[in-house]
Structure 1
Amino acid sequence: MHRTIPVSEIMVTDVVTARPDATVADAATLMRDNQVSSVVVVRDDRPVGIVTEGDFATCLCDRQDLAGIEIADVMSRPVETIGAHASIVDAVERLRAVGLEHLPVVESDDSDGDGSGADERENGDGELVGILTTMELSYFVPHLIHHVGGTDAEHPRRQVRSDTLYERDDWTFDYHGEDESTVSVGDVATFSKPITVEDVETFAEVTGDTNRLHLDADYAAETRFGKPIVHGVLANGLISAALARLPGLTIYLSQESSFLAPLSIGDRATAVCEVVDDLGRSKYRIETTVRDDGDEVVLEGDAVVLVDELPPESVLEQAATA
């Protein structure tokens, strides 16, 4: 689970650096020769700024005599950093919050070692030990590269025709859409159900995934989780359940998911699916999350679906009388 993976496990440790009195031309040469997209500016092994390829494409493209301009005059500062012991989920949240693609990693000076101290974040306090970019994070959180953060649409609650074969009393479904018959950007579908021991055991039997982490309490107690947890793919299945209840016949084309935290057996899990892009020809991109009882996000990602028209209601009537 991503919250158990520290930044130090995936960061690039061979950081390309320069002193503040180096020139912008020096920075450009370092990027070219090392095939990197940034140069971290350091003083006494501590990051004080950063210059990226984006700077050359924007603010530096019309500057003359780059060999005569010191990096200190153009670098981005104060530099945003993160502690080496912070989780990669913290890193994703930090990059999203500030809209950046490069995050220098420092050896944390705060007592918790999580890089969350304000001084470290804002002033680059701590020795530089690595760098993390959206490239490294995309291997673990692939949807990060096109995350848009949801839409501003607030559609009313709708009753939609759901062609599910059956429902249970402890399942809930809620749909907010532009109307009840079509899918539109801004529509949100929510499906919730408790995940029981029986669910986990049945899933293990059906799929063959009998990993003791999910089924053996004594075994799981000795792992990093301390107790049995729900299969990640089982939690992911709640997203499929929500999408199955969209207006129309939903057909999966792709899905990317990142497992951020463990889901405890016995929790009521809630999948939320928000339509964020109309890709044309009845195809849509949907941002997906699953939350636990405590409203913590345990899974997030996105899916691309094709929404066909439903078979006529007469087909359902014939099936009911067969």
Structure 2
Amino acid sequence: MYDTIPVAEIMIEDVVTAPPDATATEAATLMRDERVSSVIVARDGDPVGIVTEGDFATELCERGDLGRLELSAVMSRPLTTVAPTASIVDAAELLRSSEIEHLPVVADGDGRGSLAGILTTTELTYYVPHLAHEAGRREAEHPKRRTRTDTLYERDDWDFEYRGADESTVSVGDTARFSKTLSADDVEAFADVTGDTNRLHLDAAYAAETRFGERIVHGVLANGLISAALARLPGLTIYLSQESGFRAPLPIDERATAVCEVVEDLGRAKYRIETTVFDGDETPVLEGDAVVLVDDLPPTAARERDATVTQ
């Protein structure tokens, strides 16, 4: 969904700039007075570098005469830039891969065009929340296991896979996958239960005239597959929070897969989970993070699990 939004729609157009021969003191004063975290270094309107709060902190550790230096001596270069027509998803990936937080927007996107604006992680996280969390995706190396879970029933057309070192506990590196087809009946039932009867999800003729060209699954319904995967972790999983960014539309009658990876042990049986939902072509349609609390199973369920394990 967000890959249809161009950078130009969310960038800051009023960019604070300074020439290469301005001093670091002058740039720092601009940051303070304009309440910004970076200054674009521009020559004749074209960006040639950038100075950020982080640059000043680094340079202060190494130089005693920072205030009198010209920006050309302390600015970061070569400059990483993006075009106004690029999608915000592409911009997010560029920020992530370049390990930067400020992205000047120029006419041609390769640093040689005129300055059009600036995009930072602050603006992007309003649309792509998962950018705030930099935990990398890791493929678990544990053997496949089928785990006794606290679900009431399963269906033949649902697929679940759990990879973990121990079938009775949750550990960093464990992954859970849950797949099912989200049908028109699912979408219509969800609309009726929640009251979200947006015609984009229910009216084919209406949806055909939108940017998507067809009916699509509710974003929150797709997010529900993450809950389904987490419900099948060892123990009793209690959702504490979920932060999601919707990257692409999910067509109706598409088989979708939620992948949840345990990336951090927060202590006291709480874990941070990196969450992704893929469509049938393995394209990510939703990404984010969840925090869960994993309690012990109730006594009866625990006895059922133990009985199953010993059979």
Same fold (TM over 0.5): yes
1:297 is aligned to 2:284: yes
> How far 1:307 moved relative to its partner?
0.2
Question: What is the CA deviation profile of residues 223-268 of structure 1, one whole-angstrom value per residue up to 9, with x for unaligned ones?
Answer: 1111100000000000000000000000011101111110011111
SS class of match (1:97): helix
Task: Give 1:121-132 correspondences, 5 Å limit.
Answer: 124-132=111-119
Structure 2 residue aligned with 1:204:
191
Q: Which residue matches 2:308? A: none
Whether 2:246 is the aligned partner of 1:263: answer no
Counterparts of 2:204 and 2:94 in 1: how far apart (Å)?
35
- Map 1:241-320 onto structure 2 (within 5 A): 241-313=228-300
Q: In the aligned structure 2, how far is the partner of 1:316 from the partner of 1:213?
A: 46
Q: CA deviation at 1:72?
A: 1.0
Deviation at 1:141, TM superposition (A): 2.1
Write out per-residue CA displacement over residues 167-195 of structure 1, whole angstroms, 9 at most, x where no aligned residue: 11111111111210000111110101111
Residue 25 of structure 1 is matched in structure 2 by: 25
> What residue is the counterpart of 2:79 in the other structure?
79
Residues 152/189 of structure 1: CA separation in 2 closer, same or farther (3 Å cut): closer
| Shift, 1:216, TM fit | 0.7
For the aligned residues, what is the CA RMSD? 1.5
Matches within 5 A, 1:48-87: 48-87=48-87
Cα deviation, residue 32, structure 1: 1.1
Distance in 1, matches of 2:278 and 2:235, equals: 25
Normalised by the length of structure 1, the TM-score is: 0.91
SS state at 2:274 partner = strand
The 1:314/1:175 distance shift into structure 2, 3 A limit, reads closer
Q: Distance in 2 between matches of 1:267 and 1:152?
A: 24
Distance 1:30 1:64 in 2: 20
Give the Cα separation in 2 of the matches to 1:67 and 1:54: 15
Preserved contact between residue 59 and residue 66 of structure 2 (Cα < 8 Å):
no
Aligned residue among 222, 227, 244 for 2:209: 222
1:63 alignment partner AA:
R
Displacement of 1:142 in angstroms is 2.4
What residue ranges of structure 2 are gaps of 5+ in the alignment? 305-311
Which residue of 2 is the match for residue 2 of structure 1? 2
**1:132-174 superposed Cα distances (whole Å, 9 cap, x missing partner):** 1111112222232222113475222222112211111111111
The one of 106, 128, 147 equivalent to 1:141 is: 128
Deviation at 1:95, TM superposition (A): 0.7
**Partner SS state of residue 181, structure 1:** coil
Identical-residue share of aligned pairs (%) = 71
2-side partners of 1:152 and 1:190: how far apart?
Answer: 12
Mapping of 1:108-127 within 5 angstroms? 108=108, 115=109, 120=110, 124-127=111-114
Query: Counterpart of 2:309?
Result: none
TM-score by length of 2: 0.94
Partners of 1:15 and 1:314 lie apart in 2 by: 60
Counterpart contact for 2:147–2:234, Cα < 8 Å: yes
TM-fit CA distance, 1:276: 0.6
Q: Which runs of 5+ in 1 are unaligned?
A: 109-114, 318-322
